[in-house]
Structure 1
Amino acid sequence: MARQRKEKSVKDIKLEQPDRSGPTEQTLLDMAQGKNLFAMADARQAELDREKNGDVALSPGAERFLEAALWTSTLAVIHFTFEVLVQHQYGMEIEWPSAWGRTARAFVLFLFVFYPLHPHEANPILIPGIPRKYQQGIRQGIFFIMSLTSGPYLVHISNKYGYLAVMKRAPPLGCLWLWSIVELDLLSGVLSLFITMVWAWQQGYAFA
């Protein structure tokens, strides 16, 4: 005769809450993010899309260099404009060869500074050894400090120094200040400009 299985009653079953704690070990998602696999997959997909559309695919490194050259060229044009404005402000005859020479040197300097600092998918890590999630914050901190040093110093030399000092220092400082503000987040950029204006007002300086 077959024996019937004795089933437990509901009262005998111990109720417990499910484990809602996160994983204690590194997950596959964390490993993929740590090795930048998602960004690599996106870059590969973009490359395949360009090949499908018949476009010439550039490597991320080439795109990064071209982007840096484009930005640096824009900064060089602004630098040349500042050169002309400074000489015109002091009523001096514009020395075109000197202005072009200083602009060319500034272009090289801006390229060396811009290339490592500007964020790009080919350059997500600024400081090796630090997790990627902190890299953007480090960049923002660098640009914030750059804006708080170049901006007030530009206002200071424009009000206190003579023509030669202003002619040599104002154009590159103006470019660095403008670039750092553009790279900052909106809130950080507004805060930097506000601090500079308050400092200039306390010092009794004028912007015009």
Structure 2
Amino acid sequence: MNRKQRRAQDTKSTPLKSAEDIPLARPDFTRPTTKTLYEIAAERQAELNAKAGKPDTNSGGIKPENVVHLKIGKDGQIEPQSPSPNDTTTPESASAVPETPWLDAILLATSLSAVHFTLEVLTVHQYAQDLHFPPIIRHTIFVAWPTLIAIIALFHGLLFPASFTRTIPAQILLLRQIVYVAIANIAGCYLINVTNDKGYYAVMKSAPGIGTIWVWSVLELGLFGALAGVVGPGIYAWWNDYGIF
């Protein structure tokens, strides 16, 4: 009898005093005889289906359509709850809401304000006007930047209740994309018309703002949606024989 066997035999008669007194043995990898939580949940689901008069089609596992929705009432009792028929949100629409929406809106408005500042400087310089940067900077900070934040917050749903912005329905997302396409085409066509047919004063007053709105709407559409935002201005320029250069 070796040392391990003697130690294992001694532990049967004497109580364990330290970790060295525990006999060494391989773990038991055989299937447990008791029911697992998954099997208990499957049996419970089968019981609920039987009470509701539904056939037991959950032999291969718990299916999402067989999940019973419950809620806690005012008196603390558990009550059944059916999913809302008007709930048409999708995982894609829920994940489309960023974690820091206001910070994203401020950063986007800041970038677009830089675009507005650049366009205003270019339009003033185009017509040989004296460049006075203080009024341009004031107009960008106190007019363009707050206006862009308000527009972006409105279209991103930040001015609505939090329950609405938490999960945006798919219909609202589609309608918003259609509005972006319309704004991009209208702003692009109007920008081409102003820069080609209007006087220098109208260009200096309108081109920076309209150009910034056009850039913003194209950015919101994404890569493939941006193509729909430039089709209208392209056709408008071709129809009126506006040259590129």
- Of Structure 1 and Structure 2, the greater helix share is in 1
Q: 1:1-208 alignment to 2 at 5 Å?
A: 28=69, 30-31=83-84, 34=87, 60=99, 63-104=100-141, 105-118=143-156, 125=164, 132-208=169-245
Describe the superposition over 1:14-44 as per-residue Cα deviations: whole angstroms up to 9, x where unpaired: xxxx9xxxxxxxx8595499397979x98xx
Q: Counterpart of 2:155 in structure 1: which amino acid?
A: L
How far does residue 92 in structure 1 lie from its aligned partner after superposition? Answer: 1.6
* DSSP-derived class of the 1:93 partner: coil
Q: Percent identity?
A: 27
Whether the 8 Å contact between 1:124 and 1:135 is mirrored in structure 2 is: no
How far does residue 68 in structure 1 lie from its aligned partner after superposition? Answer: 0.8
Q: Which of structures 1 and 2 has the bigger CA Rg?
A: 2
Q: Counterpart of 2:113 in structure 1: which amino acid?
A: A
Q: Counterpart of 2:144 in structure 1: which amino acid?
A: A
Q: Counterpart of 1:34 in structure 2: which amino acid?
A: D
How far does residue 64 in structure 1 lie from its aligned partner after superposition? Answer: 1.4
Q: Which runs of no fewer than 5 residues in structure 2 stay unpaired?
A: 1-54, 56-67, 70-81
Q: In 2 relative to 1, CA 74–35 (structure 1 residues): closer, same or farther, beyond 3 Å? A: same
Q: In 2 relative to 1, CA 198–72 (structure 1 residues): closer, same or farther, beyond 3 Å? A: same
Q: In 2 relative to 1, CA 67–123 (structure 1 residues): closer, same or farther, beyond 3 Å? A: farther
Moved more, 110-119 or 166-175: 110-119
Q: Counterpart of 2:146 in structure 1: which amino acid?
A: V
CA distance in structure 2 between the aligned counterparts of 1:138 and 1:32, rounded to whole angstroms = 20
Describe the superposition over 1:75-124 as per-residue Cα deviations: whole angstroms up to 9, x where unpaired: 1011001111111111221121221122120111111100121378x968
Count of residue correspondences: 162
Q: In 2 relative to 1, CA 32–67 (structure 1 residues): closer, same or farther, beyond 3 Å? A: farther
How far does residue 73 in structure 1 lie from its aligned partner after superposition? Answer: 0.4
How far does residue 195 in structure 1 lie from its aligned partner after superposition? Answer: 2.3
TM-score (norm 2): 0.56
Q: In 2 relative to 1, CA 88–114 (structure 1 residues): closer, same or farther, beyond 3 Å? A: same
For CA contacts below 8 A with separation 6 or more, give which structure has more relative contact order.
Answer: 1
Whether the 8 Å contact between 2:189 and 2:236 is mirrored in structure 1 is: yes
TM-score (norm 1): 0.65
Whether the 8 Å contact between 2:89 and 2:169 is mirrored in structure 1 is: no
Describe the superposition over 1:145-172 as per-residue Cα deviations: whole angstroms up to 9, x where unpaired: 1101110000100001112111111011
CA distance in structure 2 between the aligned counterparts of 1:198 and 1:137, rounded to whole angstroms = 24
